[in-house]
Amino acid sequence: MIRIYYANDYEAMSRRAATFIAAQVLAKPDSVLGLATGSSPVGMYAELGRMCAAGEITFSRVHTVNLDEYYGLSPEHPQSYRYFMEKNFFSKIDIPAANTNLPDGKNPSPAAECARYDALIESLGGIDLQLLGIGHNGHIGFNEPADAFVPGTNCVDLTADTIEMNSRFFASADEVPKRALTMGIRAIMQAKKILMVVNGENKSQILERAFFGPVTPAVPASILQLHPDVVVCADAPAMAILAAKHPEAVIR
Ligand code: GLP
């Protein structure tokens, strides 16, 4: 089941998404949270940091598993997802460092790292709530459009489109790693709840396709239509096409 929440702007979207995470952690203080990077969740992380500093929630018993990491980047690299998470979230909350997990982009064996990560997720008992953004091509994590859904954590070749989109964070497209480690579709689909944050007019087409088009590995996010508990928090520009075509599906 998919519930799509409309927010007027990025701030309202971020606050609403933070409320869902906070509710999860209040209900289950030792939750396993699957986390995501990208510009979409930055405001939500800031709001959760504020709530934690104000004593409204604690992450002291939470464990986290991030979706993905660039292959070849060290945790200290400013464009690595570990660096992003430390800067935007982990340093702002009271989570023990040992409870935070990302794929290790420096493991010389991608296959060994993928196996380690899947075993880790299993040892934590799976994911209670998985946060997702969506790529312009419908990717979730770094599960790119393909001929088939890949179940386990895997090392992917990034598409030219994704390299181009993500080059805004690097000095040039040449510096964007060509490969990434990403959680697979199984761990995402086995998460008890999914929370997706989407903002910006340039996501409006893919958002509508993902949730109202056919379920296909050509649009990886479309598989979420088969998940029992998905909440989408989107801002007005991202919602433009969806709200016009399917007004009945939008919760205001
Ligand atoms: C990146 C990440 C995804 C993220 C997506 C959207 O490539 N691997 O996890 O959801 O692209 O990013 P943004 O939120 O910046 O649009």
The answer to whether the CB of 170 falls within 8 A of the CB of 79 is yes
Closest CA to 38 of 112, 126, 140: 140
Sketch the domain layout of the chain as residue ranges: 2-251
Q: What is the largest CA-CA distance in the chain?
A: 50
Which pLDDT band holds residue 127 (cuts at 50, 70, 90)? very high
Pocket test residue of 10, 40, 70, 73 for ligand 1, highest count of atoms within 8 A of CB = 40
Residues with CB under 6 A from ligand 1: 36-40, 67-68, 133-135, 141-142, 162, 166
Q: What is the CATH number of domain 2-251?
A: 3.40.50.1360
Nearest atom in ligand 1 to the alpha carbon of residue 67 is 9
Which pLDDT band holds residue 136 (cuts at 50, 70, 90)? very high
The answer to whether the CB of 80 falls within 8 A of the CB of 74 is yes
Task: Identify the H or E element spanning 105.
Answer: none
Catalytic positions are 68, 137, 139, 144
pLDDT for 92-125, tens place per residue? Answer: 999 999 999 999 999 999 999 999 999 999 999 9
- Tokens for 157? 């070749």
Question: For position 116, what pLDDT does the model report?
Answer: 98
pLDDT for 81-95, tens place per residue? Answer: 999 999 999 999 999
pLDDT for 207-242, tens place per residue? Answer: 999 999 999 999 999 999 999 999 999 999 999 999
How many other CB atoms are there within 10 angstroms of residue 192's CB atom? 16
